[in-house]
Amino acid sequence: MSIPSANVQATIDATRTDSELVGIPHWIDGAVDKSGELWPVINPATGVQIAQVSLADREIVDRAVAAAAAAFPAWAATTPTRRAAVLHRFRALLMEHTDELAVAISAEHGKTVDDARGEVSRGLEAVELAAAVPFLLKGELSEQTGTNIDTFMAWHPLGVCVGITPFNFPVMIPLMMLSVALASGNTFILKPSEQDPGPSLLIAQLAAEAGVPAGVLTVLHGRQQVVETLIDHPDTAAVSFVGSTPVARAIYSRASQAGKRVQAMGGAKNHLVVAPDANLDAVADALSSAAFGSAGQRCMAVTTAVVVGDVADALAEKMRERAMNVVVGNGADPSSEMGPVISIDAQVRIRGFVERAIAGGATAVVDRSTEPVEGHDQGSFVGPVVLDGVSPSSEIYQNEVFGPVLILVRVETFDEALELVRTNRYGNGASLFTRSGLLARRFQREAQAGMVGINVPIPVPVAAYSVAGWKDSIFGDTGLNNGSWRFYNRPKYVTSRWDESTSGVDLGFRPN
Ligand code: NAD
């Protein structure tokens, strides 16, 4: 028997009075707040409800925004050096609590604890970057732009910023958003995914311990209605979103109409092009790690290998060996290499894609999608899948599957491969494996994607750069990390004249 979908489970939970169940409250004005209806949080490896999260309503949102707005003036006036000191302490505390965070991520998301530690370390990079605020947020000054006139530009924070984050990185993406937002002097309301909300509360508590004042960082749980209330609220200034493309598009549109700044990162269909001269063992290792890591639920997971020329049979065989060897199990078990997908709904969706692709003519090199995991009958597991001979016109090529499914598309020439990368509607990441500098240079120039890898399968740049896709993978024009200073700040240009003389009335518009 499979467990009911999240929607049904929520109905069951509404009547539940299990006092043993962990509660995941909001964090408002520097304190936990348990108000609102409850929503079940399920361990996807066991299918068992492990917690219940409080969902906000309009009144709770109003209260949270009021606290964030009230905290803004003092935090904005705090010197960047002091804000940086708080971020340094925050980073140290996050480091100290890495294991606790990783276990919490694994329990609610399902990824292995080891992978979750990696996620935390990427999040730490974001905090480290933001702590360089005194250096990175310098303004500009030009002396003598007119006679005894100087012009300068200073960055000013926006006010109450909102961040809506996906389930797949419950620590890294919140940290990428809130670090630069807070360093800049904004207050920040995080609305994490309701599917794995627990780690966000730990983040808020550690931030408070580090010295982030009450109201400066808020965590509000909820779903669509809470997101829309936050976007429409007259006292919120900007909205950052990371999640699926349809929701990103809707949020971009709604926030723009409300006159808010908005950056919305969406889904992906990341291609890895295999040139005939590539080292096939290196390619197969990279593809396996990038397609099956975190059960394929990374926005930069490689989902599509475009194989050029006559190496496809050899690569398919190497992929078969590797995909068969991946150890699937509970993410809390150190021997597991791959955990479950996030929910039964996701399991059903992914298996459906695989079934229809095979029925439509794709060859199953490996299909472990329905393989049971011992002792975990109720878990939402989907084992690794490798499908060969996939047509670019097929449903599985056209859509984001967001599971451990790798498709192989065979093409004759490098130009055909490049054309697929160019015309795919998503443009988050794209990689090429080759020994040819000429092909590599052409690829890095011509691939239509925001993040490009050369002999690197998941080319997420370090925090000193930016995480940002192209095409349907982003709505708005700024990414996360170092790309978001301009998003979370607005320039003020001051022209000042310090001169005792008078110049007389002159109604003309004179050159400087
Ligand atoms: P999702 O779009 O379902 O949800 C993301 C967030 O939006 C959650 O907080 C959710 O509660 C909220 N939400 C869901 N539906 C909503 C609606 N109709 N209106 C308003 N808010 C809504 O995404 P997910 O399943 O949590 O995450 C996986 C997706 O995120 C994948 O598509 C993945 O590619 C994408 N992703 C992209 C990046 C990137 O950098 N481009 C990074 C990570 C994840």
Residue 483 Cβ < 6 Å to ligand 1:
no
Q: What are the residues whose beta carbons fall under 8 Å from the beta carbon of 297, sequence distance 6 or more?
A: 111, 167, 168, 341, 342, 402, 403
Strand residue runs (E) in 99-249: 140-146, 149-157, 160-164, 187-191, 217-219, 238-242
What per-residue confidence (pLDDT) applies to 6? Answer: 37
Lowest-confidence range among 3-7, 141-145, 384-388?
3-7
Atom of ligand 1 nearest to the CA of 228: 20
Candidate from 61, 119, 167 with most ligand 1 atoms within 8 A of CB, to mutate? 167
The answer to whether 339 touches 111, Cβ cutoff 8 Å, is yes
User: What span, in angstroms and rounded, lies between the C-alpha atoms of 246 and 242?
Assistant: 11
pLDDT digits (tens, 9 = 90+) for 24-68: 999 999 999 999 999 999 999 999 999 999 999 999 999 999 999
The alpha carbon of 3 and the centre of ligand 1 are apart by a number of angstroms equal to 23
CA 76 to chain centroid, in Å, comes to 26
481-495: buried (b, 16+ CB within 10 Å) or exposed (e) per residue?
Answer: bbbbbebbbeeeeee
Nearest CA to ligand 1 atom 16: 224
User: What span, in angstroms and rounded, lies between the C-alpha atoms of 464 and 446?
Assistant: 23
Average the pLDDT over 484-495 and give the result: 98
pLDDT digits (tens, 9 = 90+) for 437-484: 999 999 999 999 999 999 999 999 999 999 999 999 999 999 999 999
pLDDT digits (tens, 9 = 90+) for 266-321: 999 999 999 999 999 999 999 999 999 999 999 999 999 999 999 999 999 999 99
- What are the residue numbers of the active site? 299
Residue 428 Cβ < 6 Å to ligand 1:
yes
For 159, 163, 164, the CA distances from 30, given in Å and listed in that order, are 18, 18, 20
Could you tell me the pLDDT band of residue 503, with boundaries at 50, 70 and 90?
confident
The alpha carbon of 265 and the centre of ligand 1 are apart by a number of angstroms equal to 9
pTM confidence score:
0.95
The alpha carbon of 110 and the centre of ligand 1 are apart by a number of angstroms equal to 17
Residue 39 Cβ < 6 Å to ligand 1:
no
Number of neighbours of residue 96 by Cβ within 10 angstroms? 10
What value does the CA radius of gyration of the chain take, rounded to a whole number of Å?
25
User: What span, in angstroms and rounded, lies between the C-alpha atoms of 187 and 237?
Assistant: 10
Give the type of residue at 390. V
Residue 487 Cβ < 6 Å to ligand 1:
no
